[in-house]
Structure 1
Amino acid sequence: MMKKITPDPPETATPSDSLDLGQLSADSQRVVSKRLRNPNHADPVCHVFTILPNVDTETLLCHACETLASLNVLTTDLACKLEGSTRSLALSIQQLAVVGELLVNRALDNVDPQGSGCERSPGAHGS
């Protein structure tokens, strides 16, 4: 008789086994209730990333445009690796990113018609 060389892999819990939705809901409700009772209570999520209050509108729009352009590229790359309905979903998200980018670029045109403040996506300026 031969001895088994490799051990059996440990049993892993499925996501539904390890996640107690009732407890998660109760924890979430407790945190939300605490925040609603005391608006001055710091929300830990909103303090992860903070936008300085004195940033001008043009700078905010430039960063929003760059973020949407990145989302456009990421979703296009993702869609190229997918098929069927998941590909269609990724392309729909990509189209929303493009529309958002066009809207932000138009807002930038309204703020700075000369376009001297930031670099914009080639196809979106003046659309």
Structure 2
Amino acid sequence: MKKNAPNSPAPSTSEAVDISRLCEVTEPLVSARLRNPNRPDPVSHVFTIIPNVDTESLLCHACETLASLNVMATDLACEVEGSRRNVMLAIQQLAVLGELLVNRALDNLDPPGGFTETAPNK
């Protein structure tokens, strides 16, 4: 059930997004990016990963990130209804799938119990 906040102001026409203005601003940026795909994107460098991080550490952090996404999506799905709830549950399921894939990759790197497959002796 959706509840309206009692003190939330109604959006005014001055706050409405002007789509034509938005297109004018974003089109040159997108076009420039498409014309020169090797140009570094300043936004993509906000978060960087140091080059010498081992694969197991990367996968562990990815797994923890996906687990956090799972929890956040599940919590949000409990607060919304209808089609938005279905979207949140789909996002949650994709997070779980990603987490399962990363965990399997970790198991492949270091199998549980130290068991490693070897060729049979002849």
Q: Using the alignment, how far apart are the partners of 1:79 and 1:36 within structure 2?
A: 36
TM-score (norm 2): 0.69
2:23 to 21, 25, 31: 25
Q: What 5-or-longer segments of structure 2 have no aligned partner?
A: 1-8, 115-122
Residue in 1 that maps onto 2:65:
67
What is the alpha-carbon distance in structure 1 between the residues aligned to residue 34 and residue 113 of structure 2? 42
Shift of 1:37: 4.1
Matched with 1:121 is: none
Deviates more, 1:105-114 or 1:34-43: 34-43
Distance 1:102 1:31, change over 3 A: same
Instruction: Look up the match of 2:109.
Output: 111
Aligned to 1:93: 91
Coordinate RMSD, CA, aligned: 2.6
State the match for 1:45 in structure 2: 43
Deviations 1:4-26 (A, max 9, x none): xxxxx9x933543xx23223223
Answering whether residue 20 of structure 2 is matched by residue 12 of structure 1, we say no
**Residues in 1 aligned to 2:36 and 2:74: alpha-carbon distance in whole angstroms:** 43
Distance in structure 1 (CA, Å) of the matches to 2:19 and 2:70: 34
Unaligned 5+ residue runs, structure 1? 1-8, 117-127
Greater relative CO (CA pairs within 8 A, separation 6+):
2
Q: CA deviation at 1:57?
A: 1.2
Share of identical aligned residues, percent?
66
Q: Which structure shows the bigger proportion of residues in helix conformation? A: 2
SS of equivalent to 2:33: helix
Change (3 A) 1:41 1:85: closer
Q: Give the partner amino acid of 1:26.
A: E
Equivalents in 2 of 1:29, 1:93: separation in Å? Answer: 29
Q: Under a length normalisation based on structure 1, what TM-score does the superposition of the two structures give?
A: 0.67
Counterpart Cα distance in 1 of 2:82 and 2:26: 35
CA displacement at 1:77 relative to structure 2: 1.1
